[in-house]
Amino acid sequence: MAFYNIASSMNLTIWATIVFFYMSRYASTSLAEEMSQPSSLQLEAKALIENEWWISYTSKFGDDIIIGVLDSGIWPESESFNDRNMPPVPQRWQGMCETGTEFNTSHCNKKLIGARKFSQGMKQYRLNISNTNDYDSPRDFLGHGTHTSSTAAGSRVQNANYFGYAEGTATGMAPSARLAMYKVGFYSKDIRVIDAAATDVLAGMDQAIEDGVDIMSLSLGFKETPFFKNPIAIGAFAALKKGIFVTCSAGNSGPHGYTIFNGAPWLTTVGAGTVDRELGARVTLGDGDITVTGISMYPENLFISRIPLYFGHGNRRKELCDWNSLDSKDVAGKFVFCDYDNESSVFRSEDIYAWVPNRGFARFVHDYLLTDYALVSGTSMSCPHTAACSCTAQSTHRDWSSAAIRSAMMTTADVTDNANGRIIDMTTLLLEPLLILEQGT
């Protein structure tokens, strides 16, 4: 979640920060893909199962580890937060489930064990927090926090799919872990972004420490300032002294120098990698003379004829389908074509926010794509993967400190990409979730 009051530069020594770039071959976002084609995955799985620690790993998907997520709130009715077969809440937990707009204590359970909101700072900046802007409660309005929470510790959900894609069981990386939501980000309809006050974020981090979380996950960032003035750096330093593992997103700027956010050396900062597969789609133009192949996430068997096309020719933001660049009046009932960068096969537009069940996600103003699931990428989604890696490590190795977990992540990470080539752009290490547990065994 890149808050838009962030600057795109910072003056600090980049090498002091651990920056992980998550790759999709171990991906388990809210939609877990059942992939059988890459033989390398099967070989890796076979090797892991043969390791003697595998039985220990599979029996402890974050058992009773508490992940505190600081984000835009949570949609508690999501099936990803069901608490079936979960044991009682750990007695050491000191948190609570706060009431507010369309949210009450009954929305918490043995999976979502705590939920609070911190909005005083935003209210001082005269943000009107209402049902049309956001909920003045832990409830999620756009779905960003719901997505990051389910990525980290979502419960298993059978028969999930997105328009037929990724059909199977949806699960977070640490499905046995507990979740606590600290809502610090609020949507502003006027400026169409999620924003947060430094005081609210710091208050949320302080509360998470007091409540007894084991891990903090923050898919957000502020303008880089000296460490002693940066709210996330300050809060994370206090958490570190209590033995709490803190992971943050590196931001979606770049790729150029001095564009990484959350650069304090005591933070575990994570960036996003690219994927080695595409969801292909074909559109036949005119009378069938021309067929265009591109990327889409609509059903493979979708067949609609005589539909007009839209391409924002002459306006680069519209050509790229950039955030908030398209008007629903222009694109309603049309095929929308978006340009992208051929060199990296990564769309140039801003990171897309996730969205909550039954509400949809509005790329266009006042328009929704109705679906209960989302396929979303970006550093916001990489951060909870790192939190979950820490979670499984803690549940398997109770004597490991947060520093030991960071060390295990660094020393088991790849220094080459999945084609055995040099990692380019801002990347430094590719996180290897399953190999982390081998350290010290």
Active site positions, annotated: 71, 144, 380
Residue burial 85-121, b: 16+ Cβ < 10 Å; e: rest: ebeebeeebebebbebeebeeebbbebbbbbbbbbeb
Q: How many CB atoms lie within 10 A of CB 282?
A: 10
Instruction: Label the pairing between strands 268-272 and 18-22.
Output: parallel
Give Rg (Cα) of the chain.
21
The position carrying tokens 């036949």 is 284
Report the SS3 class of residue 285: strand
Planar angle of CA 62, 267, 207, nearest 5 degrees: 65
CA distances from 85 to 96, 151, 273 (A): 21, 19, 34
Type and span of the H or E element at 284: strand 280-285
Query: What sign does the CA torsion over 171, 174, 178, 184 have?
Result: negative
DSSP letter at 156?
A: P
Is the CB of residue 244 less than 8 Å from the CB of residue 67?
Answer: no
d(CA 297, CA 272): 20
Q: How many CB atoms lie within 10 A of CB 44?
A: 16
d(CA 86, CA 61): 12
CB neighbour class for 367 (10 Å; exposed up to 12, middle 13-18, buried from 19) = middle
d(CA 231, CA 261): 12
Amino acid at 435: L
CA distances from 415 to 388, 410, 430, 432 (A): 21, 10, 6, 11
